[in-house]
Amino acid sequence: MCSIINLDIDGCIHKLPLVCGTFDKAIDISKLRENTRFITFDPGLKNTAFTKSSISFINGENGELLYRGYPIDELVKKCSFIETSYLILNGELPNKKQLKFFSKKITKYIVLNKEIYGILNRFPESYHPMGILSSFTNILFAFINDDTSSEKEEDLYFHLLAKIPMLAALIYRKKKGLPFFKDYPTLKYNNYTYNLLKMFFSVPDRPYSINSLIIDSLDKLLTLHIDHEQNCSTTTVRLLASVRSNLFSSITAGINALWGKLHGGANQAVIEMLEIILKDGGNVKKWINKAKNKKDPFRLMGFGHRIYKNFDPRSKIAKCLAEYLILKLNISDPILELAKELEKHALKDSYFFDKKIYPNIDFYSGIIYQAIGIPKDMFTVMFVLGRLPGWIAHWKEIKNNIDPIGRPRQIYIGSKKRYIS
Ligand code: SDX
C-alpha cells in the first residue's frame, strides 16, 4: 500500500505522497515547489522518474530486462524480432493472423518515393551514415504526407518500420558502390531480417542466399535492442512527443541522440578503441590503466552502464551469440581476440569490479556486426533498426496518455541582475 513521507524543512513538516509502480516506489514531488519554494537537483536525472511507462522495465541490481513483462532472454529464445516488435507496440504477443497482417504491412510500405534515390546520391561520400539516416527520416515525412495525407497515424508506424531498414540498406550500398535495386527485392513477408540482409548484401544477376545462423544471430541482436526504459534517445523521443512534434521529427531526434559516442555510438567506438589498442601493440593492461586514471580522459568503450550495476542481461546473450557465430563461421579476427583479452582483464580488475562496471551491449554488438560484414560506421544505424519499435511505442504511449510537456527546471549560477551602464 502506498503511503506518504514527511519532509522536514526548517522545522516545517511537508507530507509527500509516494507513487507506486509495478515493482518500485517513488516520492511524488510534483507539488514540491508550490508548497515549499524548493526544487530538487539531480544532474543527469540519475534518481528521477519523469514519466510512467508500461513498455519495458530494468532491474539494474539483478541484471534483468522485461519487455511488457516478458524477460528478454525468453523473448530472444522463443520469438522473432518482428513478433517482439508487435509485443512492444501493442502490449501483447501476436497470434498467427495478427503477425501475418503486421508483417505484410511492413513489406507493403517498403516502397520509397523515387526522388529519395536522387537526393541520396547527392550526399557527400564522407558524411556519416547516421547523419544521412536522420536527414532522410525527416525528409520521408514530406513524401508520405504528400502521397497520402489522410494517412492514419497507425500506418505511419509501418511506414517507418518498413522504410528505415530500406534507407539503411541504400546508405550501405551507396558507401560500398553497390547499385541500388533495379526493382524491389522480392521479400519474404515473414522474415524481416532475411529481407534486411538481402537489401544490404544482394548483388544483381546472382541469386541471394545467406547462412541461416547469420539471419538468426542478427534477428536476436535486433530484439535485444528494441527497448530500454528511459535511455537518452528514448527520453528524447518522449520529450518531442510531449510537445506534439510529429512522429518522424521525434524519431529523427532519437536517431541524433543515439549517435552520441557515450550512447548508441559506443558500438562503433568499441571497435575503434580495439583497433587503436591493437595498433599500439595490444597491451590491454596499459589501456585498462589509462581508463582507470582520473587524469586521462580515456574510457573503456562498451563498459559501464547508468542502470546495470550487474551484468547487462543483453550483453550475456550478445556475448554467446558472438562466440557461437565466430566459432561456426570459423572467423579468426585479431580484433575479436583482443576484445576477449580486454574483457578478461577488466572483469578481474578491482577498479571495474568495485564500481560495478561491466561490459554493456555495445561491447559485443559491434563484434557481431563486424562478423556479419557490416562496416563499423553502420553499427549505430543497426542500433536504430533495433530500437525503432521501442521509440515508436514510447511516442504512441505519450500520445495516448497525455504527459505534461517535458520542461525541467535549473539551478541558475549566472550573474546577479545588473543594468547597462
Ligand atoms: C548505451 O541508458 C541506456 O539504457 C543506454 C543503452 C540503451 O540500450 O539505450 O544501454 C545503450 O548507451 C550503453 C552505454 C554505451 N556507452 C559506453 O559504453 C561508453 C563508455 N561508458 C561510460 O561512458 C559510462 O559507463 C556510461 C556513460 C555508460 C554511464 O555513465 P554514468 O552512469 O553516468 O556513470 P559515470 O560516468 O558517472 O561513471 C561512474 C564512475 C566514474 O568514476 P568516479 O568519478 O566515480 O571515480 O565509473 C567510472 C567513471 O569514471 N566509469 C568508467 C567507465 N564508465 C564509468 N571508467 C572507465 N571506463 C568506463 N567505461
H/E stretch holding 58 reads: strand 56-59
Query: Given pLDDT bands bounded at 50, 70 and 90, which one contains residue 187?
Result: low
Start-to-end CA distance of the chain, whole Å, equals: 60
pLDDT top residue among 402 and 251: 251
Query: Given pLDDT bands bounded at 50, 70 and 90, which one contains residue 186?
Result: low
Report DSSP letters for 282-311, one per residue: --HHHHHHHHH-TT-----TTB--SS-SS-
Query: Given pLDDT bands bounded at 50, 70 and 90, which one contains residue 145?
Result: low
Dist CA 50 CA 259 (whole Å):
23
Dist CA 271 CA 301 (whole Å):
9
Query: Given pLDDT bands bounded at 50, 70 and 90, which one contains residue 183?
Result: low
Q: Is the CB of 346 under 6 A from ligand 1?
A: no
Identify the top-confidence range among 88-92, 141-145, 179-183, 362-366: 88-92
Q: b or e along 374-400 (b: 16 or more beta carbons within 10 Å of the residue's beta carbon)?
A: bebbbbbbbbbbbbbbbbbbbbbbbee
For residue 291, the ligand 1 atom closest to its alpha carbon is: 57
Q: Supply the residue whose CA is at minimum distance from atom 47 of ligand 1.
A: 355
Dist CA 207 CA 204 (whole Å):
8
Per-residue pLDDT tens for 269-318? 999 999 999 999 999 999 999 999 999 999 999 999 999 988 899 999 99
Residues facing 396 on adjacent strands: none
pLDDT for residue 108: 85
Nearest to 145 by CA among 135, 136, 156: 156
For residue 225, the ligand 1 atom closest to its alpha carbon is: 8
Q: b or e along 278-295 (b: 16 or more beta carbons within 10 Å of the residue's beta carbon)?
A: eeeeeebeebbeebbeee
Q: Is the CB of 45 under 6 A from ligand 1?
A: no
% of the chain surpassing 90 pLDDT: 83
Q: Supply the residue whose CA is at minimum distance from atom 41 of ligand 1.
A: 355
pLDDT at 190 over 90: no
Q: Which residues are catalytic?
A: 305, 362
The pTM of the whole model exceeds 0.85: yes
Q: Are the C-beta atoms of residues 385 and 165 closer than 8 Å to each other?
A: yes
CB atoms within 10 A of CB 249: 14
**Among 57, 58, 303, which is best to mutate for testing ligand 1, by the most ligand atoms less than 8 A from CB?**
303
Q: b or e along 161-195 (b: 16 or more beta carbons within 10 Å of the residue's beta carbon)?
A: bbbbbbbbbbbbbbeeebeebeeeeebebebbbbb
Mean of the per-residue pLDDT values for the chain?
A: 93
Residues in the chain: 421
Cβ neighbors of 31 (< 8 A, separation 6 or more) are: none
- Average pLDDT score over residue span 177-189: 73
H/E stretch holding 19 reads: strand 12-20
Compute, in angstroms, the gap from residue 55 CA to the centroid of ligand 1: 23
Q: Is the CB of 355 under 6 A from ligand 1?
A: yes
